[in-house]
Amino acid sequence: MTIHEKMIFTFYAILGLSYGLKFWDPAEENPLLNTYFSNDDITTAFKDLKNQYPDLVEINSLGISSNERRINEITITSNVSSSQRSDKPHVKYVANMHGNEVRGRGLLLKLAYYLVFKSKDADVKKVLDETVLHLVPTLNPDGFASATESCEGTVGRYTSERKDLNRDFPNPFLELGVEMGSEAKMVEEYAARVPAVLGISFHDGSLVVNYPWDGYPGVPSMEYAASPDDQLFVHLAKTYSLNHKTMTKSKSPCGRSYFEDGITNGNQWYQVFNGMQDWNYYYQDCFELTIELGCCKYPPDARSTFTDVWADNFYSIFALTEQAQNGIKGSVLDHTGSPVLGAVISVSGEGKPVTVRHGAGYYWRPLLPGTYNVTASKPGFWNVTRRNIRVGESGATVVPFILIAKSQRNFKADFVQSPRDSNETSGPLSSAPVLTSCTFVLLISSYYSTFLAMFP
């Protein structure tokens, strides 16, 4: 790498990355991290981390594969036992859904070790204090067990049920009659439990960041298929590629395709229907990217492979993780202070709506800097719109909502809640229920508690 390239890389490593993390390879502490771990080895490693760092680590199972191999996830965050009740955004990283694409397995193991080994460093502690990270090194352990070292081919790609896991999810637009296999069903159930804001799926076979849509009806393969959040996805993709050590050095890294800035729209590259990326975005409100880590799918030299993939992706991983902190966040409660699950958050003129899924009523919505009108709605409740919400370059703007059920019309008393500041709240509140003084005090108390909950 020339001095000029080092300067560019250093600039990109700093750009948009406020954590200030210092590079360190966990294989210096545990050389086995530069080897190919079996599925049992991954389970043992997770248990060791849990035993050493019980306040940071939790192990969860997605289920058992067809060939009776357990698919485990490790959750890492500060005060992990209370993470499901906190307002910290969730980010999930998964790998090895094609069993013969292996770099992501080692990359996520190194990430887990890095986070816990360096958890007392101020910058790493900041990551753990602000974010809940979910790591799944393999979604297809059966495929990996049958795979062989080879840069090409499909041996090990499929599950033991002969399913291509990245063609096995419900399609948002077309009824293609896909009967989901065991692993896809596990991912579906897992996604329902983990309200991830951002998702990253690691693959091999190229070197690029791929973003939705992967496939859209009426748009031919190799043509651009923009999602409702296209500009946001371009920003997220470039956040990863520009912080990567080598991804932008060649426009055709594997000699087969042309990529500008190390990113590609999925459909423009090649069309995929029933993929996990589009499914996560459309159905789960998880802004997911597919990241291809290298041209060779299963390299023979594990040591150099995992040494390089960790160095290449270190700053990218944390730069993208930090993006979960940007945009808006808040909670949606009713007048009693109970969460309104299933409420929909819509941003005027910006992307698709997201649904409140968190058990405590929290939501997160990544957004680019700008000024927005944000509406919370649910059938049976009065809509509420917060106007002129400003989103900055970094950090989330807190936008809590309290929705009033239309059934509360029968309240009668001496106070009517109506919007006084059109820049704050609008909607049918001027014709909404008449509230008793006691109910209004409860409502304000709930609103205040909601606001305080944003800053635990």
Each residue of 287-301: pLDDT tens digit? 999 999 999 999 999
Alpha carbons within 13 A on the beta-carbon side of 424 = 9
- Res 361 pLDDT > 70: yes
pLDDT in tens, 411-433: 433 222 333 333 333 333 333 33
Tell me what pLDDT residue 17 has: 55
Could you give the percent of the chain with pLDDT greater than 90? 79
DSSP category for residue 165: G
Sign of the torsion formed by the C-alpha atoms of 184, 187, 192 and 193: positive
Nearest to 230 by CA among 257, 273, 264, 203: 264
* Active site amino acids: 292
Check residue 169 and give its pLDDT.
95
Return the percentage of the chain with pLDDT > 70, whole number.
Answer: 85
* CA quadruple 45, 51, 52, 55: dihedral, nearest 10: 120
Nearest to 90 by CA among 57, 123, 47, 135: 135
328 φ/ψ angles, rounded to the nearest 5 degrees: -130, 155
Instruction: Tell how strand 344-347 and strand 263-265 pair up.
Output: unpaired
Q: Tens digit of pLDDT for each residue in 239-290?
A: 999 999 999 998 999 988 899 999 999 999 999 999 999 999 999 999 999 9
Q: Which two tokens stand for residue 236?
A: 């997220």
The answer to whether the CB of 125 falls within 8 A of the CB of 77 is no
Which residues are CB-neighbours of 311 under 8 A, at least 6 positions away? Answer: 23, 25, 245
From CA 169, how far away is CA 433, in angstroms rounded?
43
- Give DSSP secondary structure letters for 278-328: HHHHHHH--EEEEEEEES-SB-S-HHHHHHHHHHHHHHHHHHHHHGGGSEE
Q: Is the dihedral of CA 13, 16, 22, 23 positive or negative?
A: negative
Tally of CA atoms within 13 A in the half-sphere of 363 that contains its CB: 30
Task: Tell me the C-alpha to C-alpha distance, in Å, between residue 379 and each of 140, 376, 383, 405.
Answer: 39, 11, 9, 9
Q: What is the mean pLDDT of residues 348-357?
A: 92
Q: How many residues does the chain have?
A: 456
Q: Which amino acid is at 49?
A: L
Question: pLDDT at position 20, please?
Answer: 80
Category of 156 on φ-ψ map: left (φ > 0), alpha (ψ -120 to 50) or beta: left
Span 86-92, average pLDDT: 93
CA distance 354 to 360: 16
Please give the Cα distance from 364 to 424 (Å, whole number). Answer: 19
